[in-house]
Structure 1
Amino acid sequence: MRPIPAEDEGLPASDPLMLENGAPARWWHKLPDGRIQCDLCPRDCKLHEGQPGMCFVRQRIGNEMRLITYGRSSGFCIDPIEKKPLNHFFPGSSVFSFGTAGCNLACKFCQNWDISKSQEMDRLMAAASPCQIAEAASKREALSVAFTYNDPIIFAEYALDTADACHALGLKTVAVTAGYVHAEPRREFFAKMDAANVDLKAFTDEFYQQQTGSHLAPVLETLLHIQHRSSCWLEITTLLIPGLNDSTPELEALTAWVAKELGPDVPLHFSAFHPDYKMSGIATTPAATLRRARRIGLDKGLRYVYTGNLHDADGDTTFCPGCQAKLIERDWYDLLHYELDAEGKCPHCGSRIAGHFAPQVERGFGRRRIPVHIGRGQPT
């Protein structure tokens, strides 16, 4: 683990030097023209003195790159793991969730735009070191810690140090990300994640360019890396936006790629869009669209396809791929029925369900959202 900022050495969590200047960033190099280039993500931001990258949080200060949000967060809370969404990673468990501010994409439909697009970070931030976060999560008996709300790729150094602190206490780590990252930081980042939900925002580069200001290919590379070159558990979410990424041909191409390149056991979540940010004029995704997408995915050979942001009994349920028994029934984040052992085996036919499971889960954590305050001293 890289040295923790001074707060862990007895200084208050609001130490102005830590909050003002952040911590040294990794993955950058100097250019011949005097600028420095950020090598974290494919944007390759080239920065003059004092200039932040597109993400707002990685900034050139002097002759180095710094992560100015290291040790700061937009808030902490305990969530159900199903909210990430992760349906095959210890269903029913609780997860300690936090994020920072900023983002390296420019999604016009961002559902967390007040956080991801914020540049007024001092007004938003609570302060906590990696060890404080791990201790707070452990005290609250969370199974895992999630880097979420905004994309953890942009605060990778903070996330990785926190992952080390979490693993030292026996906690799991979860990343909720768009997966827009270069190869070297990708490898290091996902090596320390136990599970990830990656937003596959569409399956055309045109959509990525026009609606997010990025490209599809690096996201596909991230998905391939996680599934085939890491031990991180992978689930995928696609937010379906009427008229933009919900056509039958595109959904057929997307689900066929997932089934062929990642395998039929990767859970895929189709979620309903609601009007927000720069897309307030587009209607909410009809339930019929999500059910059509789910059927397309199942027809392409995917074993676990879910629908989100609506009440849909079948779309919330984990079915056995062998005998089609209902093994985990949910109502959004509530577990209504659960019958898997710790090995994830179906009690009816013995088929193993892909994922990570605990035995004897009853109702689980449910829909609660419990805010957590981390003060200057011990977590509360």
Structure 2
Amino acid sequence: MVIEHSELAPSEAAVPGRYWQRLEDGRIQCDLCPRECKLRDGQRGLCFVRAAQDGGMVLTTYGRSSGFCVDPIEKKPLNHFLPGTPVFSFGTAGCNLTCKFCQNWDISKSRQMDRLMDAASPDQIAEAALRAGCRSVAYTYNDPVIFLEYAVDVAEACRKRGLKNVAVTAGYIKPEARAEFFGAMDAVNLDLKGFTENFYHSLCTAHLVDVLETAIYVKHETDAWLELTTLLIPGQNDSDEELQALTAWVKEHLGPNVPLHFSAFHPDFRMQDIPPTPPKTLFRAHRIGREAGLNYVYTGNIHDEATGSTYCPGCGEKLIGRDWYEITQWGIGNAGLGQGGHCTACGTAVAGVFEHAAGRWGRKRQPVRLTRS
């Protein structure tokens, strides 16, 4: 699918894009994601931000953002990556999926570049994150794979300053681009939207297999820490059979130590006729995940400390207590940053990236405005 746009606005930051090829009929094909949009000059891909211009591919949103904010890392959600620390979050506009249930539709479905109010270079973002006291930068709000060139440059600037990089993504990306993008990341929360091809086809116009391949790649071919999130939508992806299949697949292909978050849906975008996810559905999914042999299963978008906390897979001791995004208990012992921890009660290994103590950022959300120097 392409979106007609005869001329790119002068105010847009168009930089050369990667992962495309020229076709015999004069069009170019975008090879960033499995959609393989075929474009003539002046046309944009479905994501709206990658466009054909002067016989090549450009990214039209380089250096521009829909906003910056300091969040708790648990909000991504990441429960086993630097718990309690602040993360500098930003996104751009557009998306390469068409999810009818999108919870950030005003950003990810935006067709208006004037939503991109803040402008910042990679170095400016990294410096702002340092000034804010963050340990990492998150590429989020809309899917960062569509602004790969910008995200990779920001990630490089962050690594030079000792900052970690976090991708919040649906993982709809082709293998060659996958290697560059995830090679720049230190942690990934992958949004596994459902576990049937029909769900992906009818509600996202995408394919499940591409997302599963990305999850396997991140887990087994990169050094990035991986967690998964599934938004449970009543009547769409919340049956016992689907949840059992999903959790069994995670156990078999990713292992028992990849955290899995089940989050509550709220009516939004094009699915406002479906009711919110009842807490009992999340508790049922949590139980199914634990029965499948997953060590770390969580609920999200509800207030329940019991299913939001981390427990030792050996003795069952509560290791990280969480009240919303507040760390209420800490029982992780470890040798230092980048190491998996261990239970201080029984010594069982605990998978993750931990420091000697939890951070104290809590549930604060701090908007940040960047201006050109």
Q: Residue by residue, what CA displacement relative to the aligned partner does 1:179-238 show, whole Å, maximum 9, x if unpaired?
A: 000000001111110000000000000000000010100000000000000001000000
What pairs with 1:63-212 in structure 2 (closer than 5 Å)? 63-212=55-204
CA distance in 2, matches of 1:172, 1:342: 19
Look up the match of 1:234: 226
**DSSP-derived class of the 1:135 partner:** helix
Q: 2:371 aligns with which of 350, 372, 375?
A: 375
Mapped contact 1:101–1:150 kept (Cα < 8 A) = yes
Mapped contact 1:265–1:354 kept (Cα < 8 A) = yes
Look up the match of 1:284: 276
Q: Residue by residue, what CA displacement relative to the aligned partner does 1:108-148 show, whole Å, maximum 9, x if unpaired?
A: 00000000010111243310010100010011110000000
CA distance in 2, matches of 1:329, 1:28: 46
CA drift at 1:338: 1.2
CA distance in 1, matches of 2:9, 2:100: 34
Structure 2 unaligned blocks of 5 or more = 1-7, 336-340
CA drift at 1:337: 1.0
> Against the structure 1 CA distance between its residues 262 and 77, is the aligned structure 2 distance closer, same or farther, given a 3 Å change threshold?
same
CA drift at 1:342: 3.4
Q: Residue by residue, what CA displacement relative to the aligned partner does 1:323-343 show, whole Å, maximum 9, x if unpaired?
A: 000000001111111121234
CA drift at 1:57: 0.1
What pairs with 1:258-277 in structure 2 (closer than 5 Å)? 258-277=250-269
Aligned alpha-carbon RMSD (Å) = 1.2
Q: 1:43 aligns with which of 35, 38, 60?
A: 35
Letter of the 1:370 counterpart: Q
Look up the match of 1:54: 46
CA distance in 1, matches of 2:11, 2:296: 43
Mapped contact 2:66–2:115 kept (Cα < 8 A) = no
> Against the structure 1 CA distance between its residues 17 and 120, is the aligned structure 2 distance closer, same or farther, given a 3 Å change threshold?
closer
CA distance in 2, matches of 1:162, 1:187: 16
Mapped contact 1:19–1:69 kept (Cα < 8 A) = no
Mapped contact 2:93–2:115 kept (Cα < 8 A) = no
User: Which structure carries more strand by proportion?
Assistant: 2
Letter of the 1:197 counterpart: N
CA drift at 1:17: 9.2
> Against the structure 1 CA distance between its residues 123 and 301, is the aligned structure 2 distance closer, same or farther, given a 3 Å change threshold?
closer
CA distance in 2, matches of 1:37, 1:29: 5
Mapped contact 1:19–1:71 kept (Cα < 8 A) = no
**DSSP-derived class of the 2:274 partner:** coil
Letter of the 1:360 counterpart: A
Mapped contact 1:236–1:269 kept (Cα < 8 A) = yes
With the length of structure 2 as denominator, give the TM-score of the two structures. 0.95
Matched length: 361
Look up the match of 1:9: none
With the length of structure 1 as denominator, give the TM-score of the two structures. 0.93
Look up the match of 1:4: none
CA drift at 1:18: 8.2
Asked if residue 355 in structure 1 is aligned to residue 352 in structure 2, the reply is yes
> Against the structure 1 CA distance between its residues 130 and 347, is the aligned structure 2 distance closer, same or farther, given a 3 Å change threshold?
same
CA distance in 2, matches of 1:333, 1:275: 23
Asked if residue 366 in structure 1 is aligned to residue 362 in structure 2, the reply is yes
CA distance in 2, matches of 1:27, 1:111: 29
CA distance in 1, matches of 2:309, 2:12: 46
Q: 2:14 aligns with which of 18, 22, 44?
A: 22
CA distance in 2, matches of 1:220, 1:111: 22
What pairs with 1:237-256 in structure 2 (closer than 5 Å)? 237-256=229-248
Letter of the 2:35 counterpart: R
Q: Residue by residue, what CA displacement relative to the aligned partner does 1:289-320 show, whole Å, maximum 9, x if unpaired?
A: 00000110100100000000001122111000
CA distance in 1, matches of 2:113, 2:84: 33
**DSSP-derived class of the 2:12 partner:** helix
Mapped contact 1:18–1:71 kept (Cα < 8 A) = no
Structure 1 unaligned blocks of 5 or more = 1-15
What pairs with 1:293-308 in structure 2 (closer than 5 Å)? 293-308=285-300
Percentage identity across paired residues of the two chains: 61
**DSSP-derived class of the 1:290 partner:** helix
